[in-house]
Amino acid sequence: MNQTGKFCPGAGEVRYLTSLLAGAVLLPVAGGVWAAEQQGDGAATTTTVTTTTATASGGDGSRLDTITVEGNRLYDMLPSEQTGGYGVDAATVGTKTPAALRDIPQSISVVTREAIEDQNFDTLDELAKRTPGVRVLSNDDGRSSIYSRGYEYDEYNIDGLPAPMASINGTVPNLSAFDRVEIMRGPSGLFNSTSEMGGIVNLVRKRPTDEFQGHVTGRYGSWDQNYVETDLSGPINADGSVRGRLVIDNSDTNGFVDRNDNTHQTFYGALDVDLDEATTLSLAYLRQHKDITVNNGLPTGADGNLLDIKRSTFAGADWNRFEMQSNDYIAELTHQFDNGGYGRFGARYSDRQANYNYIFGGTGVDANGGFDARGTGGDIDQQSLSMDASYSQPFDALGNVSEFVVGTDYKRYETDTVRSAVSAKGRNGVYFNDGLGDGPTSFDGIRNITEIDFLDPDRRGARISDQLETLEEYGLYSKLTFRPIQDLALIGGARLSSYQARVTTHGNNDVVSSRSDDGKVTPYGGLVYDLDRHHSLYASYSEVFKPQTQTDANNDLLKAREGTQYEVGIKGSYFNGDLNARMSAFRLYDENYAASVTGQNYSADTGKRRIQGAELELTGSITDQWDVIAGYTYLDTEVKDGDEEATFLLMPHNMVNLWTQYGFEGGALDGFRIGGGVTAMDGFHSSQGVEAPGYAVVDAMVGYDFTPNLSGQLNFNNILDKKYYERVGSTGTFNMYGAPSNVVASLRYDF
């Protein structure tokens, strides 16, 4: 068997090559030995691995054929755009070097570049809608909230470096600059201590390539959807030690809602420089811009029942707007040591500005067809800095390969927000054209309201808030993966953190509330036991803490929320890691969250929640031609003490995700690809009693390769034209229809 491809050629054979490819060393692996010989000129690295491996049940070793692994400079892991298909056998989320999915004792999903393009995902929230175990509360184009296990992802990492993510700030990223998306569910406080309970999203950048490549993609579809992307990459100097990449895209669509004009733009530039054969400097700049006509959804009837009206109905004014731009500056220095160790320093600075001013429904529609309207405006200025330095070292212990990781990190988030909310128009000023019983179809009244600057402090009735939130954290961490026997990995780690959270409320007299902790310890533990060459049992214990912005009776910030999760499961890896399966069960506790104090305007840190559930997932390539992403999620939430958690009610108990595609080779259908899928969930409701029934939406795709360089694709979304609400909110707003049936055509030319 001669194979050129991913660095983990087989789940039970050489699964532990993960971090060892860095150096030319001889270490025992999976009961035998492997020998690595590096060849390279600084631009590319080829590692030849020869293994002798015993079977899982024991017996004589048998020699495997040579496996050649060509690695890029990001942890020696090939990008998914090169390996193709939907399957990867390793991930970097929640780790510092790539680890086989079976060796990470938590729930991980990886969405490859091919899966992103097959389903026409432009933004992270579009991808999340079809990812097992993830729930999206839809909002504007690229401004939705993404949840897992009942909690919103409030950060996203780029190559392991975090920055804040919030739907209201419009910081949900576009995807054109990224090779794959890695999603971890559940607390991960060892390397991300102050993140939310739901887990981590890690976006892995497209890297400059050793050889020239490029493509141009164009798409056009229903509601004047149009998208253009250019991606160019390759060596800059003669020996290939300096390489660059440039990605530019522009997306413009009116959307299915009337007067909903949305524009997204991305500019991404990257430069990789090999300082020597073992050291690489990587620099990148990412700029994203959004210009959106805000659509906050529909009101309900006054009785809280959802309206049955045209899905194109817009409950806003012509002047509704949201504009955001973000700039990310990224630097990374990596070194591969002769002893197999791997060192990395990374830094990311993010600068975001957003401003918005819009009007939306404020109450349910009464019997005469009238409703109040409300509006809000805001300016947001956010800066964040994150840095991380780590060292990973494999070592031989008891005849097996173990590994330790040590490191330190720092992050500082600063968000300055000026916001206003006010009633914009009285009940008698805004009407449906027809009575509610006749099926109203027009929102002309709210559309024609004269533009209001909601941040104008002189405007009668305005309520202005001006707050500066700052979070600063330093951390030291370590993790040990110890293999006392071939089939068992014991994983333990701890983190020591110092943090300070501060909220400054600006006014005639500034009010400062803060809380700090100089010795917060976050432990982590897990084990993985290999049942055979394809299956592993795992269990893990993880913690995380999350500073809060609510204040107590003394106007001090409440102590941080603390999350604890227990997870057990079984993972499978098949076809040399191209197809991965997982079955897991978890229980998560969230303590100290802010709870209201009766009759007072402050909070107490007495809240307790319990979240538990189970997940099934199958992702990857069944054959070279057949790919699949499938999953089932069960979620049960309970508030044990404190206020009812509104978002928990919006989490369905049962969700199903399926997408599959098949590419024909030979015969009359040679060059054709077909695909299809379904997204389904049972009913859910809001804290205000607005209920939505469950739904199932069916999508399809057909593609054709006209030449080796030119391909086309048609995506058919909601092909049964299911009319459904994908999100509910209050009687006044945030009741969002899912998109009607639509089609998008695309062409791609590869250089």
pLDDT digit string (tens) for 692-738? 999 999 999 999 999 999 999 999 999 999 999 999 999 989 999 99
CA–CA gap between residue 177 and residue 690 (Å, rounded) = 38
CA–CA gap between residue 645 and residue 356 (Å, rounded) = 27
Nearest of 372, 377, 373, 376 to residue 360 by alpha carbon: 373
CA–CA gap between residue 236 and residue 204 (Å, rounded) = 22
CA–CA gap between residue 247 and residue 226 (Å, rounded) = 17
Residue 454 neighbours by CB under 8 Å, 6+ apart: 357, 375, 376, 377, 420, 421, 422, 424, 462
pLDDT at res. 62 = 38
DSSP letter (8 states) at residue 494:
E
DSSP letter (8 states) at residue 551:
B
CA angle 14, 15, 20 (to 5 degrees): 80
The token pair that represents 87 in the structure block: 């399957």
Question: Which amino acid is residue 322, in one-letter code?
Answer: F
| DSSP-derived 3-state class of residue 391 | strand
Element (H, E) at 37: strand 32-40
pLDDT band, very low/low/confident/very high, at 170 (cuts 50, 70, 90) = confident
CA–CA gap between residue 608 and residue 469 (Å, rounded) = 25
pLDDT at res. 330 = 99
Residue 167 neighbours by CB under 8 Å, 6+ apart: 137, 139, 143, 144, 145
CA angle 117, 738, 299 (to 5 degrees): 145
| DSSP-derived 3-state class of residue 114 | helix
104 domain residue, yes or no: no
Which conformational region is residue 179 in: left (phi greater than 0), alpha (psi within -120 to 50 degrees), or beta?
A: alpha
Residue 434 neighbours by CB under 8 Å, 6+ apart: 369, 440, 441, 442
621 domain residue, yes or no: yes
Nearest of 718, 94, 88 to residue 405 by alpha carbon: 94
The token pair that represents 94 in the structure block: 């929640």
Nearest of 548, 582, 585 to residue 568 by alpha carbon: 585
pLDDT at res. 426 = 39
Q: Is 437's pLDDT higher than 80?
A: no
Nearest of 570, 626, 564 to residue 589 by alpha carbon: 564
Q: Is the Cβ–Cβ distance between 579 and 87 less than 8 Å? A: yes
Q: Is the Cβ–Cβ distance between 487 and 54 less than 8 Å? A: no
273 domain residue, yes or no: yes
What does R_g of the chain's alpha carbons equal in angstroms? 26
Most confident of the following: 303-317, 411-425, 651-665: 651-665
Q: Is 195's pLDDT higher than 90?
A: no
pTM reported for the whole predicted model:
0.89
CA–CA gap between residue 463 and residue 445 (Å, rounded) = 24
Q: Is 474's pLDDT higher than 50?
A: yes
Residue 458 neighbours by CB under 8 Å, 6+ apart: none
How many structural domains compose the chain? 1
DSSP-derived secondary structure for 582-639? EEEEEEEEEEEEEEE-TT-SSEEEEEEEEEEEEEEEEEEESSSSEEEEEEEEEEEEEE
pLDDT at res. 509 = 82
373-384 confidence digits (pLDDT tens): 888 899 999 999
pLDDT at res. 363 = 83
pLDDT over 70 for what percent of the chain? Answer: 85
741 domain residue, yes or no: yes
Element (H, E) at 445: helix 444-447
Q: Is 432's pLDDT higher than 80?
A: no
190 domain residue, yes or no: no
Q: Is 609's pLDDT higher than 50?
A: yes
Which residue in the block uniquely carries the two structure tokens 């409440």? 558
Phi, psi (rounded to 5 degrees) for 116 = -60, -45
Longest Cα separation, the chain: 86
Counting Cα atoms < 13 Å in the Cβ hemisphere of 106 gives: 31
Q: Is 744's pLDDT higher than 50?
A: yes
CA–CA gap between residue 339 and residue 22 (Å, rounded) = 8
Q: Residue 608, exposed/middle/buried by CB under 10 A (0-12, 13-18, 19+)?
A: middle
174 domain residue, yes or no: no
Strand positions, DSSP E, 64-150: 67-71, 90-91, 99-100, 107-111, 134-137, 145-148
**Domain containing residue 482: CATH number:** 2.40.170.20
234-262 confidence digits (pLDDT tens): 999 999 999 999 999 999 998 899 888 89
The pLDDT mean for the chain works out to 85
514 domain residue, yes or no: yes
CA–CA gap between residue 245 and residue 344 (Å, rounded) = 21
Which conformational region is residue 554 in: left (phi greater than 0), alpha (psi within -120 to 50 degrees), or beta?
A: alpha
Nearest of 390, 394, 261 to residue 316 by alpha carbon: 261
Most confident of the following: 429-438, 569-578, 587-596: 569-578
pLDDT band, very low/low/confident/very high, at 68 (cuts 50, 70, 90) = very low
Q: Is the Cβ–Cβ distance between 334 and 346 less than 8 Å? A: no
Question: Which whole number is the average pLDDT over 15-38?
Answer: 37
CA–CA gap between residue 31 and residue 522 (Å, rounded) = 33
What distance, in Å, lies between the first and last C-alpha atoms of the chain?
Answer: 31
pLDDT at res. 463 = 67
Evaluated on CA atoms 718, 720, 721, 726, the torsion sign reads negative
723 domain residue, yes or no: yes
Instruction: Tell me the residue range of the domain where 561 lies.
Output: 213-490+499-750
| DSSP-derived 3-state class of residue 578 | coil
The token pair that represents 235 in the structure block: 């060596």
CA–CA gap between residue 739 and residue 712 (Å, rounded) = 23
Nearest of 588, 652, 589, 654 to residue 616 by alpha carbon: 654
Pairing of strands 199-205, 155-158: parallel
pLDDT at res. 421 = 66
DSSP-derived secondary structure for 160-178? TEEEE--GGGT-PPBSTTE
Residue 643 neighbours by CB under 8 Å, 6+ apart: 595, 596, 607
